[in-house]
Homo-oligomer: A and B are copies of this chain.
Amino acid sequence: VDKSHRYRAIEAWAVPGISEIVAGDIIEEIIWEAVDSLSAQEPERDLREGDIVVVTSKIVSKSENRFIPVSLAAEHLKHETVRIVARRARDDGETLIVENSLGIVCAAAGIDKSNTPDGSALLLPEHPDGSARAIAAALRQRSGQKLGVVITDTLGRAWRLGQTDCAIGAAGIRVLNDLRGTIDAGGKPLASTITAVADEIAALADLVKGKSGNTPVAVIRGLAEYVTDDLDEEGAASIIRPSHEDMFRIGSEEAYAQGFSAGVAAQRGLKPGESS
């Protein structure tokens, strides 16, 4: 009996031994060395066909020298903000939800002030799908195996408390699994389900890596069906909902205020935006 086909099983582990990343570090080499050193002691922890390597965006940003002085964080926030989605005063400051330069809707444009050297903050990687491709290409070449790579960031949600890790970069994996048209166990077509595989992988990896910053890389084994031959598949940018499909493009209060102004202007016989 081939047990492996009776039910699906996944293993995932954090890769120990990755020390503080600095600007200019070749991250794919550092990951490779850490994996190599782990598998020298525990042979089952090598990289195998179909494994997925999940990397916290923070260390990618560090290696790509995306440091900024924390004193300039407000100016960078303005620059990284494509548009303000919603803002709300809090007791201890302000919640600011924006669309950033990557198209991602998130708090504070993804600028990160934790786990950074004193006085510094970090921007997100400039091209996370490109960074994922570079890491995947190097690790595939080093290991001789078909691997996937996901780069993660921690994002909030509109209607649920807390954050989950999501994929902001990906290479060598199918990021969305479109099940529309497939059939369920009873032979009926599945409802319109598209599984955000790369985001679920990022969430899984967060549980393994934790938030302390000591283990920014995890390996997942058991999801080879999502690993692609090609590194040129659509990356994590394709998970972002296009704006014409976005029913929550701005916050409810912001939309109400815009509508109110337009209603006042219309009633006065003016076009919205025209001054009286």
Type the 1/0 row for A156-168, where 1 means its CB is closer than 8 Å to any CB of B: 0111111111100
**A176 with B162: CB separation less than 8 A:** yes
Nearest CB to that of A243 among chain B residues? Answer: B159
Which of B165, B249, B251 lies in contact with A247, CB distance below 8 A?
B251
How many Å lie between the Cα of A194 and that of B157 in the bound state?
12
- Judge whether A75 is part of the interface by a CB distance below 8 angstroms: no
- Judge whether A138 is part of the interface by a CB distance below 8 angstroms: no
- Judge whether A261 is part of the interface by a CB distance below 8 angstroms: yes
Measured as residues with beta carbon below 8 angstroms from the partner, the interface class of chain A is 35 or more
- Judge whether A141 is part of the interface by a CB distance below 8 angstroms: no
**A267 with B259: CB separation less than 8 A:** no
Chain A, range 186-229, C-beta contacts under 8 Å to B: 186, 188-191, 193-197, 199-201, 203-204, 206-215, 222-223
B-binding residues in A (CB < 8 A): 3, 6-16, 20, 38, 42, 86, 88, 95, 97, 104-105, 112-118, 154, 157-166, 176-177, 179, 184-186, 188-191, 193-197, 199-201, 203-204, 206-215, 222-223, 238-241, 246-268
